[in-house]
Chains A and B, each alone.
Chain A
């Protein structure tokens, strides 16, 4: 079936270190979205990637969509305490079942 694997499940980093989370799909995606959930909060949309090989940046966050449109990554440069939370990818398989990755929980060690 249509599945996506998101890794790692947890990541603990020192403040100032970089962080990356990956989403890997077994099938080609129409597009992929990324969401962030702060502790105690709800998921909030960050960005959408549509084109093969697309790279988008939001300040210290860099989002990539693979050439085959089967995988994606979110990279944070020089993490800050405000980056704490769980990051989810939401792959679009072209149907209305809007599934999410299992999430990567980022904690920052000051």
Chain B
């Protein structure tokens, strides 16, 4: 089944404790992206990657890192999480380089930073 898989789905952590949210897709998609969803703010793009070793900042990149060493994986790294990073995170991917292509989303990762 074609899908985007995120882990963990739920995580409670404390301020300053580094964490990684993994994202993997099995559709051979070139483009991958991370979003955070907060009430009233919709889906805001954190980082995106157009292909292996190519990453770019989205609208809210502060406090996050990403890497794209393999085509299928696009982990989101919070080096020193803070409470304002408590949010629902979605990874998404799409084929090709056209903005017209459809995004496929993972199930989401709900992160709480105490």
Residues of A within 8 A of B (CB): 6, 9, 30-31, 33, 35, 41-45, 48, 50, 88, 90, 92-103
Residues of B within 8 A of A (CB): 31, 33, 35, 40-45, 48, 50, 56, 58-59, 90, 92, 97, 99-100, 102-108
Question: Across the interface, do A33 and B102 meet the contact criterion of CB distance under 8 Å?
Answer: yes
Question: Across the interface, do A92 and B99 meet the contact criterion of CB distance under 8 Å?
Answer: yes
Measured between alpha carbons, how far is A88 from B105 in the docked complex, in Å?
13
A98 CB contacts on chain B under 8 angstroms: 33, 45, 48, 99, 103
Question: Across the interface, do A102 and B105 meet the contact criterion of CB distance under 8 Å?
Answer: no
B41 CB contacts on chain A under 8 angstroms: 102
In the complex, the 6 A-B pairs of residues with the closest C-beta atoms, listed nearest first? A102-B42, A100-B43, A92-B99, A42-B105, A45-B102, A103-B42
Question: Across the interface, do B59 and A48 meet the contact criterion of CB distance under 8 Å?
Answer: no
Nearest-neighbor residue (CB-CB) of B105 within chain A? A42
Q: List 28 A-B contacts (CB under 8 A).
A: A6-B42, A9-B40, A30-B99, A31-B100, A33-B102, A41-B107, A42-B90, A44-B105, A48-B100, A88-B42, A90-B103, A92-B99, A92-B100, A94-B99, A96-B48, A97-B45, A97-B48, A97-B58, A97-B59, A98-B45, A98-B99, A98-B103, A99-B44, A100-B42, A101-B42, A102-B40, A102-B42, A103-B42
Question: Across the interface, do A43 and B42 meet the contact criterion of CB distance under 8 Å?
Answer: no
B42 CB contacts on chain A under 8 angstroms: 6, 88, 100-103
Measured between alpha carbons, how far is A98 from B29 in the docked complex, in Å?
15
Nearest-neighbor residue (CB-CB) of B41 within chain A? A102
